[in-house]
Amino acid sequence: MTGIFKVAKNQLMLLQNGAEFFPQLCADIEAAQHSIYLETYLFAADDIGRLVADALQHAAGRGVMVRVLLDGYGSAELPKQWVDELRAAKVEVQWYRRDISPFTFSRSRMRRLRRLHRKLAVMDNKVAFVGGINITSDVCKDENFSACRFDYAVRVQGAVAQQIQGAMLHLWGIVSWVNFRRRSKEIGGFVLGRPKHAVDSAITFLLRDNVGHRRDIESAYLKAIARAQREIIIANAYFLPGRAFRLALKKAVRRGVRVVLLLQGKVEYRLQHYATHALYDQLLAAKIEIYEYQASYLHAKVAVVDGEWATVGSSNIDPFSLLLAREANLAIHDPGFAGELRASLLTAIAHDAVRIEEGSNVSRSWIDRLSARISYGLVRWVIGLLGYGRSI
């Protein structure tokens, strides 16, 4: 990806995979003069984690305020030594919800599945990154893949970066109060307030949380699908949409819209993978095209509608993202940007994916079919336990 697209008062750059994302992220960290905010679900102790950690420490060493917010579950394996090293270099590090046990299933404990799944970064309130790429190497060394994860991020320079930093400041303040029991109208020099979306005729910064933005990302998808006239392409790592979403896609097909899904072909997380398979028959019967990505692990959370509207971010189309996690997406109405993302997705579909034909589930083993039913049932049970049972 090399194009720079001017959208309203912003410049956008689409970045594919870590090979494009991490050099640009580190370059902007090195260029920062005043402040750096970074949020991630997964910060791994690998070569990429070291690259980013070193860049953050260098920035802090030259007097830049650096704040890193890590999810307590996704980054749980980050060694204490790494965190101590960051803090010793004057990088502020906080954890989002560390107290979670996967072996407790009470409703109150299950609510701790509400994770920080956003992948955001802002430098100097001017340059920001929004996407699905974690701080971890996407180069697979143990299998015959050229890259472990197929994913995207957007670099945005302009007015939207200010809105993104505002949302990050808001969450930093909440976590500061929770972690250190400091109640104040002002934390770290910034007044806490409810974050707002950056709304423009061409670009919108979308949040999902459990207070004021519960359905915003899903609603943006549904509005774009309802307006579609020619084509909908969705690439999603964990695709388990609710009834309203499935109905919207079926209605689009009935009015003559081509609907294409690029989904996970490799088994990374069995529960989500097989639960998605439970929906294949009804989606294929509705004439929705399904392709499974084979070249590596699919980690993308993107969509293009009519080659004009696109979204890139951290939110999967499953109940864990749409009902539980904190997520962030950009929705962009621009033919140039949407066209570049569309071309990238069509290339992946043509060269790195296989089409699932209607009736192909007959060829799956009875174990796979049983796994799909059990996995889907388990997901529904978990979501029902949290009070969202009717959503899927």
Known catalytic residues are 117, 119, 124, 299, 301, 306
CA angle at 151 for the pair 267 and 342, rounded to the nearest 5°: 115
Secondary structure of 219-258 in HEC code, one letter for each residue: HHHHHHHHHCCCEEEEEECCECCCHHHHHHHHHHHHCCCE
CB 288 within 8 A of CB 250: yes
**Calpha distance 37→128 (Å, rounded):** 9
Residue with tokens 């505002």: 166
Amino acid at 335: P
Q: Which residues pair with 233 in a beta bridge?
A: 260, 304
